[in-house]
Structure 1
Amino acid sequence: MIGLGDIAQKAYLPTLSEYPSITLVLCTRNSQLLNELARKYRVNDICSDYKQMIQFDLDAVMIHSATSSHVEIATYFLKNRIPVFVDKPLSTDYSACEKLYDLAERISQPLFIGFNRRYLPILREPLSQESEVSPLLSIRWEKNRHNLPDFARTFVFDDFIHPLDSVNRSADVNTGDLLISEQMSGSVVNRIDVQWQSGSTFIQTSMNRLNGITNERVSLNYETVFHHTN
C-alpha cells in the first residue's frame, strides 16, 4: 500500500489486515505515520520510497497517494509487470488515463480504479436496473460541502465523481443525453447539477460546495407494487 492517508486508514487497512492470506507492505514518506501504522497493524515490511517496494516480491500494489502522483507511480509498477489498484481518480488528465490503460493492455497487466462505495451491499441491488424489488423510477444523489468552492478539475474529479459515479451504474449514458447546470464565482465552481434518463429511470445528481453544512442524501423511488393474497 502506497500512501497511508485518510482513505487508506479508514477504508483499506482495517479490512485488508483482517485477511490472514494477505501480507501487507506499507509505504509513505511520513516516517512517523509509517511506524505508527506498522505497529498498529503488525506489518514488518515498510519503506519510504515506492521504488524500494520491488524488493518485497510484490503480487500487487494499491496506490492511495495524492492524485498528482498516481500516473507516475502506476506507470512504474505496470512497467515492472505488477498489477495496480489506484484509488479514484486515476488522474485529472484524460490523456494520461488513456496512456496508462494502453500500457496495461499492451503488457497484459491489470489496472483497476478503486471506488469503495461501488461495492456497498446496501446499494448494489437497489441501483440495479434488474432489481427484483420493483422498477426504479428515479434516483437522486446529493452530496454537499460547507463553503468549499474549487476549480473545475478538483471539484469534478476529486469530489463530484462520488455522486455522479454512484448513480451511473449502467455506464451507458451518452454525453448528449446529459442536462448539466453549474454555478460559478469567477474561475471556481460553486455547484453542479446533472440529470438524464436511463430507460424508465430518471437520474439526478447534485453537489453544492457553498452549502450551509456538509451532508449527503440519497433518494430512490420505486413503482408501487401490489401483492395479492388469497
Structure 2
Amino acid sequence: MRQLRIGIVGLGNIAQKAYLPILSQADHWELSGGFSPDQQKAQKVCNSYRIPCFSRLDILAGQSDAVFVHSSTASHYQIVSELLTLGVHVYVDKPLAETVAQAERLIELARQKNLVLMVGFNRRFAPLYRQLKQQMDRPASLRMDKHRTDSVGPKDIGFTLLDDYLHVVDTALWLAGSPANLLSGSLQTNADNQLLYAEHHFQSTHTLITTSMHRRAGSQRESVQSVTNGAMYQIDNMSRWQREDALGILELPLPGWQSTLIQRGFDGAIRHFISAVSNQTAAETSGEQAIYAQRIIQQLLKNLGSA
C-alpha cells in the first residue's frame, strides 16, 4: 500500500519550529515537498530538510494526498479553497479563514468533496489538557489565562483576538464540554486600538468559564484552573499538573521522554489529522468545531464596535 504523501505550504516560523520537525520524521507517510511564494526562502528551508521545493501550489497538490497550510491568515481562503478543489485533504493553522463567512464556505466545500479539513487548535491535543477534560467531574468553574511578556501591537485588536485570544476561548470552551453563552466581558485597548487586556465570562450547562489575556503581563504564563465535584485542578504551561482533593495535593512529574511539541499538542494534532485522512474519518476540529470559537470572537468585535 502506498504511503500517504504530505505537502506543506508556508515555510515560516511556525512550520519550521512545530511542524517540519515532526513531518520530516516520515513515520507512516512521506513528505512530498513544500511551497511558498518566497521561492528563495522556500528553497533554503526545503534544502535543509532534503525535500522538493515546488514553484506552484497546484504542482505541489498534484504530488500530495494531504497538505499542511501555514501561510498568513489573509491567504487561507484562497489557498485552502484551491487545495480542496484539487481534491487534497487540508490541515490549516487557526483560524480557518479571515471571516466566518469564508470559513463556512470552506467547510461546505470540504463536505462536497468528501475531504478532511482540520483546523490546527493544537491545545486540544496537549496531553495534560486532554487528561483534565477526561478526569473533570461536572466542573463548577473553569478559568484559562494566557498572558504575554510584552506583546502589545503592532497589529490592531481584531488581529490579536483572532490570532491569539482565539486559542484561549477555543480551549476553555472545549474543556468545559458543552455550548456556552457569553455573559459579560471587557476589552481594554490603547490609543492605537491595540489590545492590552481581555477577560470574558461564559456559562455552559454546568460551568462558569472565564478567559483572560494580558498583552504586557511580564510573563508568558499559560494556566488552567478548574473547581470540580471532589477536586481542584491546576495546569501551568501545559507541563505542570496539580490535583487537590481530600487526600491532599498530587503533582504529576513531567515524563522525561516527552518533548515540547508533544506537551503543546502539535505532535498529537499532526498525527490525528494524518490518521483521519488515512482512515477517512472526521477530524476533531472540523466543521462547526473549527469555527465555534471564531464566531464568538466575531461577536466580541461586533459588541466592541457597537459600544
Q: Give yes or no for TM over 0.5.
A: yes
CA contact (8 A) 1:191 1:206 kept: yes
- Seen in structure 2, the aligned counterparts of structure 1 residues 47 and 79 have a Cα distance that, compared at 3 Å, is same
Partner SS for 1:127? helix
Within the candidate set 74, 77, 81, 2:87 is matched to 81
- Look up the match of 1:148: 152
Counterparts in 2 of 1:86-165, with a 5 A limit? Answer: 86-128=92-134, 131=135, 135-145=138-148, 146-149=150-153, 150-165=155-170
CA contact (8 A) 2:140 2:207 kept: yes
Partner SS for 1:125? helix
Q: Percent identity?
A: 31
Partner deviation per Cα, 1:7-40 (whole Å, 9 max, x = no partner):
1112111112223432211112333433333233
- Counterpart AA for 1:8: A
- Look up the match of 2:273: none
- Look up the match of 1:28: 36
CA contact (8 A) 1:26 1:34 kept: yes
User: For structure 1, which segment, 79-88 or 47-56, has the greater mean C-alpha deviation from structure 2 after superposition?
Assistant: 47-56
Q: How many Å separate the matches in 1 of 2:159 and 2:91?
A: 21
Structure 2 residue 19 is the aligned partner of structure 1 residue 15: no
Structure 2 residue 211 is the aligned partner of structure 1 residue 205: yes
- Seen in structure 2, the aligned counterparts of structure 1 residues 168 and 50 have a Cα distance that, compared at 3 Å, is same
Structure 2 residue 171 is the aligned partner of structure 1 residue 166: yes
TM-score relative to the length of structure 2: 0.65
CA contact (8 A) 1:141 1:218 kept: yes
Partner SS for 1:23? strand
Offset, 1:74: 0.6
TM-score relative to the length of structure 1: 0.84
Say how many residue pairs are matched. 221
Structure 2 residue 186 is the aligned partner of structure 1 residue 181: yes
- Counterpart AA for 2:16: Q
Q: How many Å separate the matches in 2 of 1:20 and 1:124?
A: 23
- Counterpart AA for 2:146: K
- Look up the match of 2:46: 38
Q: How many Å separate the matches in 1 of 2:177 and 2:55?
A: 38
- Look up the match of 2:74: 68
Offset, 1:226: 4.2
- Look up the match of 2:266: none
CA contact (8 A) 2:180 2:204 kept: no
CA contact (8 A) 2:151 2:215 kept: yes
- Seen in structure 2, the aligned counterparts of structure 1 residues 174 and 109 have a Cα distance that, compared at 3 Å, is same
Partner deviation per Cα, 1:34-74 (whole Å, 9 max, x = no partner):
3333233232x221332321342x11111111111100001
Structure 2 residue 222 is the aligned partner of structure 1 residue 216: yes
Structure 2 unaligned segments of length 5 or more: list them.
1-7, 232-244, 248-307
Q: How many Å separate the matches in 2 of 1:188 and 1:122?
A: 32
